[in-house]
Amino acid sequence: MQTYEYIKQPKVEAAIYKDGYNRRLRVDEFRGNAGRLWEYVNKEVESNQFEKVIVKARAGQYSFFVEKGFMLEGGVNGYFNGDKAFFMSKFLTNDRRNSSHWREEDDILQQVQELERQEISYSDSISVANTSQAERLADLYQEVFKLYPVPLHNPDYVKESMKSGTIFVYMEEGGRIISAASAEISSVYKNAELTDCATRSSYRKGGNMKHLLRKLESELLNRDIFCAYTIARSLSFGMNAAFHQLGYSYGGRLANNCIIFDKMEDMNIWEKDLSDV
């Protein structure tokens, strides 16, 4: 079960994502007394099967979480209306802390960062989706991902995401969507997570995703969103290469962050200031 809640208690307010599927609790933003927030989080951890707690902290909140045993895994510049978000994590089991692919992911990152940047524009064949494309998008995601952190295989979920402001862009052939990506926008903090990147296996290696991402960047700029970031599978050379070549900067790695593709995986953070484009 996955629920997004905004709690308001004496001396603290917070936006909290409770993710039973991925066995994690994530604090996307809070203001007020950090100690009160920590009391609330501890109670939630005790009553649920969470294995990881993530807090997106501001600079002034960083030291409190270090004292509570959190570690800095990465960050995104400009996340909070131009201010940096520090991704602080606390692991509640040894298995959740330990990654069996860390060295391999280091090698992939090094290979990716040796690639040349590319100048790419988006193709005219890319469309912005509306709710009438929800079923075809869900069909794409069902084929590409056996497991995914959110239920994108459900057309109703895709529709609700669109209604909440998420932009989906896609390419099609013969009436079938062959590749898609999305931008999940925070209208409060003026940032966007580029996510839900998928291409059917028979259409890969054609560079479709880079064009889709460029289209999303254009849509974000039209909405005055300048902070763009993504969280990509650390084991995916192709996705990490795409963001690096499009000018994104590496921002850290989240260990055992979510279930995606076929298992619990580490995820790389990539970020970009679109106002510099």
Q: How far apart are CA 170 and CA 108, in angstroms?
A: 27
For 82-98, write each residue's pLDDT tens digit.
Answer: 999 999 999 999 999 99
Same domain, 66 and 188: no
- What pLDDT does 1 receive? 75
| Residue span of the structural domain in which 23 resides | 2-97
* Tally of domains within the chain: 2
List, for residues 163-209, the tens digit of each pLDDT value: 999 999 999 999 899 999 999 999 999 999 999 999 999 898 778 99
Least confident range from 103-112, 119-128, 183-192: namely: 119-128
User: Do 251 and 158 sit in the same domain of this protein?
Assistant: yes
pLDDT tens figures, 202-230: 898 778 999 999 999 999 999 999 999 99
CATH at residue 159: 3.40.630.30
- Give CA–CA dist 98/256, Å, rounded: 8
Distance between CA atoms of 111 and 24, rounded to whole angstroms?
30
pLDDT at position 79 is 98
111 in the same domain as 93 = no
Task: Find the distance separating the first CA and the last CA of the chain, reported in whole Å.
Answer: 39
d(CA 195, CA 254): 15
Same-domain check for residues 128 and 219: yes
Contacts of 271 (CB under 8 A, 6+ apart): 76, 77, 78, 227, 228, 229, 230, 248, 249, 251
Confirm if 20 and 48 have CB atoms less than 8 A apart: yes
Split at pLDDT 50, 70, 90, the class of 31 is very high
